[in-house]
Amino acid sequence: MKKPVDEIDFPTEVVREGKAQVLVPKLSAFVEKPGEYAPSKAPVFYNPVMELNRDIAVLALQAYQQTVNREILVCEPLAGCGVRGIRFALEVDGVKEVMINDINEKAYRLARYNVDLNRVSKRVIVKNMDANLLLARHSAPHKRFDVIDVDPFGSPVPFLDSAIRATRDGGMLALTATDMAPLCGVHPKACIRKYGGKPLRTEYCHEIALRLVIGCTATSAAKYEIGITPIFSHSTDHYVRMYMLLNHGAHEADQSLKRLGYILHCFNCFHRETTNTLLGHSGTCPNCNSKMDYAGPLWLGKIAEEDFCALMEKEAEKRLFKMKGRIGKILALVKADSSAPPTYYVLDKICDKMRWPVPPVRLVLENLRGRGFEAHLTHFNPKGVKTNAPASEVTTVISQLLNFNKNIGIRC
Q: Per-residue pLDDT tens for 315-362? A: 999 999 999 999 999 999 999 999 899 999 999 999 999 999 999 999
Side-chain-side CA neighbours of residue 93 (13 Å) = 8
80 and 180 part of one domain = yes
**Mean predicted confidence (pLDDT) in 9-18:** 93
Residue 409 has pLDDT above 50, yes or no: no
Task: Please check whether residues 33 and 160 belong to one and the same domain.
Answer: yes
pLDDT digits (tens, 9 = 90+) for 203-221: 999 999 999 999 999 999 9
Does 83 share its domain with 214?
yes
Q: Are residues 357 and 280 in the same domain?
A: no
Do 275 and 410 belong to one domain? no
| Torsion of Cα atoms, 206 then 210 then 213 then 215, to 10° | -120
Q: Please tell me whether the overall predicted TM-score, pTM, comes out greater than 0.75 for this model.
A: yes
- Say yes or no: 257 and 140 in one domain: yes
| Same-domain check for residues 130 and 32 | yes
pLDDT on residue 41: 86
Same domain, 362 and 284: no
Query: What is the number of residues in the chain?
Result: 412
Q: Are residues 20 and 104 in the same domain?
A: yes
Give the span between the Cα atoms of 308 and 34, in whole angstroms: 42
Is 225 in the same domain as 348? no
| pLDDT tens per residue, range 56-113 | 999 999 999 999 999 999 999 999 999 999 999 999 999 999 999 999 999 999 999 9
Residue 406 pLDDT > 60: no
Residue 226 in any domain: the answer is yes
Does residue 355 sit in the same domain as residue 409? yes
The C-alpha angle 211, 213, 214, rounded to 5 degrees, equals 65
| Domain presence at residue 305 | no
* Residue 285 located in a structural domain: yes
Q: Is residue 147 part of a domain?
A: yes
Domain that holds residue 176: 4-299
Residue that finishes a domain, picked among 262, 280, 299: 299
Count of domains for the chain: 2
CATH number at residue 376: 3.30.56.70
pLDDT for residue 28: 87
pLDDT value of position 280: 85
pLDDT at residue 121 tops 60: yes
